[in-house]
A = this chain, B = another copy of it.
Amino acid sequence: MTGQDGTSASPGEPGVTGDLFSPACPTRQLLDRIGDKWTSMLVKVLAEAHPEELGFAQLRRCAPGVSHKMLSQTLQSLRRDGLVTRRVEPAVPPRVYYALTDLGLSLDAPLAVVRTWAERHIATIERARIAFGKEHDRG
Alpha-carbon distance between A26 and B52 when the two chains are bound, in angstroms: 29
**Cβ–Cβ < 8 Å partners of A107 in chain B:** 117, 121
Interface residues on A, range: 35 or more
Q: In the complex, what distance in Å separates the CA atom of A44 from the CA atom of B124?
A: 21
The secondary-structure label for the interface of chain A is: helix
Tell me the minimal C-beta distance from A25 to chain B in angstroms.
9
Whether A40 lies near B30 (C-beta < 8 A) is no
A122 touches B27 (CB 8 A): yes
Query: In the assembled complex, which residues on chain B have CB atoms less than 8 Å from the CB atom of A111?
Result: 114
Cβ-defined contact, B81 with A125, below 8 A: yes
| A91 contacts chain B at the CB level, 8 A cutoff | no
Q: Which chain B residues lie closer than 8 Å to A14 at the CB level?
A: 45, 48-49, 52, 54, 62
Q: How far is the CA of A23 from the CA of B37 in the complex (A)?
A: 11
Are B118 and A27 within 8 A (Cβ)?
yes
Among B5, B12, B15, B34, point to the contact of A118 (Cβ < 8 A).
B34
A70 at the binding interface (Cβ < 8 Å): no
